[in-house]
Structure 1
Amino acid sequence: MTKWILILGLLFSSLAAHAGLNNISNQELQQLLDQGVPIIDVRRPEEWKQTGVVEGSHLMTFFDKKGNYDVRKWLQGLSEIADQDEPFILICRTGNRTEIIGRFLANKLKFGQVYNVEKGITHWISKGNPVVK
């Protein structure tokens, strides 16, 4: 019995911890873009050149090649796009970096409407969706 209480407690605490982060599919991405929700591509410039970007993307690298980042500088750029209570979309290559960033924004900084493109731009492209170079 104690084992199940512990498992349920962990499950519910993890659900609550992700309340402000929403993983989205390509279809949901398109719906949000159609509604005018801003999209932020957190990849590096060489990645943007390699694949192109979703039209209208704000290009804001988060991690450099070595995995370093400047949260203060990145948040300053974000503040020009969306406030803490406004929705925005994060996209990277496969959704891993943006999930880390999204969890940080939602859980630690209490951003309320962070959308993560779950499988990233590689899945977006693989399904025939457009990008701009």
Structure 2
Amino acid sequence: MKKILLALIATMALANADVTNVVASKAFLGKNIKIIDVRTSGEWASTGVIKGAYTIMFFDERGEAKEAAFRAKLNKIIKKNEKFAIICRTGARTGAIAKILDNDYDIINLQGGMVRLMQEGYKPVPYKR
């Protein structure tokens, strides 16, 4: 009985998932969708950021998740039911973050991250604190 209940819960969770995976590209940046850069401040300073992106760390410099603080900042930027994109360095962190947030937000996970964008020739703008 427990296995059936767990399978049912897992199925319902997947049905509620609002995550779209899209390869990070310069073409995507032309869409009118807010982008949240979840990298660390050190990464933003090192490579720069996407012009117009919002910078909100999900994991701190030690790799610890700061979900409550992230959600509080995100909710000031994103309206209820608004689709938005998240990006990190390679897409690994955003894949994990999307799984954590998928039931509450309509997320586009930019796979390949900033590394992919820069390989395509995108020039980030300097990060300003």
Q: TM-score, normalised by structure 2?
A: 0.79
Equivalent positions of 1:60-99 (< 5 A) are 60-99=56-95
| Structure 2 gap ranges (5+) | 1-6
Q: Deviations over 1:24-52 (max 9, x none)?
A: 1234x634x43421101011111011111
Q: CA 1:88 to 1:72, structure 2 compared with 1: closer, same or farther past 3 Å?
A: same
8 Å CA contact 2:60, 2:66 repeated in 1: no
Q: Name the structure where helix makes up a greater proportion of residues.
A: 1
Equivalent position of 2:14 in the other structure: 16
What RMSD, in angstroms, separates the aligned Cα atoms of the two structures? 2.4
For the residues of structure 1 that align with 2:27 and 2:74, how far apart are their CA atoms? 21
| Structure 1 gap ranges (5+) | 1-8
8 Å CA contact 1:91, 1:116 repeated in 2: yes
Equivalent position of 1:106 in the other structure: 102
User: 1:96 Cα shift?
Assistant: 0.7
SS for the counterpart of 1:77 is: helix
User: 1:102 Cα shift?
Assistant: 0.9
Q: CA 1:92 to 1:17, structure 2 compared with 1: closer, same or farther past 3 Å?
A: farther
Q: CA 1:130 to 1:17, structure 2 compared with 1: closer, same or farther past 3 Å?
A: farther
Is 1:128 the equivalent of 2:128? no
SS for the counterpart of 1:123 is: helix
Q: TM-score, normalised by structure 1?
A: 0.77
Q: Which of residues 97, 101, 117 in structure 1 aligns to 2:110? A: 117
For the residues of structure 1 that align with 2:64 and 2:80, how far apart are their CA atoms? 24
SS for the counterpart of 2:102 is: helix
Is 1:30 the equivalent of 2:23? no
